[in-house]
Amino acid sequence: MSDWSEHAIWWHVYPLGATGAPVRPTDDERAAAEAEPVHRLRALIPWLDHVREIGANGLLLGPIFASHTHGYDTTDFFRIDPRLGDESDLDDLVAAAKERGIRILLDGVFNHVGTQHPDFRAAVEGGPDHPAADLFRVDFFGGTPTHETFEGHDSLAALNHESPAVADLVVDVMTTWLDRGIDGWRLDAAYSVPTEFWARVLPRVRADFPDAWFLGEVIHGDYADFVIESSADTVTQYELWKAIWSSLKEENFFELDWTLGRHNAFLEDFVPQTFVGNHDTTRIATQVGTDKAALAAVLLLTVGGIPSIYAGDEFGTEGLKEERLGGDDAVRTMLGDPPAPAELDEQAARLLDVHRSLIALRRDHPWLTTARTSVVDLANTRLVYDVTGEDGDRLRVQLELQPAPSARVEDESGATLFAI
């Protein structure tokens, strides 16, 4: 793991939604953007001061490459989506981030491409002997060519990860953008890609960029085995995400107790990437309410891991994910301009202050990244745990759900470092 990543706290943003780009553009909107890119990506630059002000130091970007709709149906890995602008917009965003000491992670969708990708269209039209055919999993021998999809989405064509050409393509994409100044990659749907593929690709990238950091999106399965076999640095800790919101919502800390034990075991092999919200999940404030969302932040920022905050969660932004076409739109809303503190209502200002204070506490105790958790008092609505560093440093965290959500963090002497 790169030395810098141990101290990373990410601010995660979905650029298409955050900047107000049309996620399902009409043909006219798409043609207009192709003719004249819309420089929306620059709208994230003013937010960099907010990222630094809350104490974070990483910008985790959702997909920014040319695509047909939502960004995960890539049509060109080497071009910025014209709905977001062009390469100069990313260059300026990277430069502005570097000036503020902020790292940048890009979203690499390397399990599949959109069926509008020129290589896929050429392969289907050219048949099995076409040079591009080896890039995809297409059955040409049953009449009309059929392609393997990603989780049943016909508009997403699975790449052929057994092909050396696909490995070469992914290495080329990764190194191209690392050479332009980014710091690493989120590997979208990494669980759908054979670990052997990542094990072939990532060392080749690290040969030229030894400080690059790789985060695999893994929802279920053996996290430690994935990290070891793939050579990725870490994975998304969905088990902890689920246990945090579920325990708070159902007022049952026993589920979280079990998951914290699993989390300790993961820390023996790697440092998980932790979160309580992202672009694929119902907003934490919608899931549990604003008061309990503050307790979710306490958990996120006091247990071991490399945390990320989904843009807007620090203000209590709400949004319900639904299982339907467009069901992610409500959790991928436009950010607008960074608000001045006076523009925030009382609840939003309070939650923002909670995040600032907890990130400051974590900065004061950097050993929390690899800290182990031990539960010392457990009931449905009460949880007390110690977090302990490798050198014996210790903090005690107390969470109460009744009569009202509250939390306290104390040092070894019993002095209060944080309370709500």
Confidence of residue 143 (pLDDT cuts 50, 70, 90): confident
Residue among 129, 135, 91 at smallest CA distance from 117 = 135
pLDDT single digits (tens) 267-307: 999 999 999 999 999 999 999 999 999 999 999 999 999 99
Mean pLDDT of the chain: 97
Q: What domains can you pick out in the chain, each with its CATH number?
A: 3-370 (3.20.20.80)
Closest among 256, 33, 85, 337 to 315, alpha carbons compared: 337
pLDDT given at position 1: 65
pLDDT digits (tens, 9 = 90+) for 38-85: 999 999 999 999 999 999 999 999 999 999 999 999 999 999 999 999
Instruction: Give the closest residue to 70 by CA, choosing from 320, 275, 326, 324.
Output: 326
Contact 259, 227 (CB under 8 A): no
Kind of pairing between the strands at 103-108 and 184-187: parallel
Q: What is the largest CA-CA distance in the chain?
A: 74
Phi, psi of 120 (to 5 degrees): -70, -45
Model pLDDT, residue 244: 98
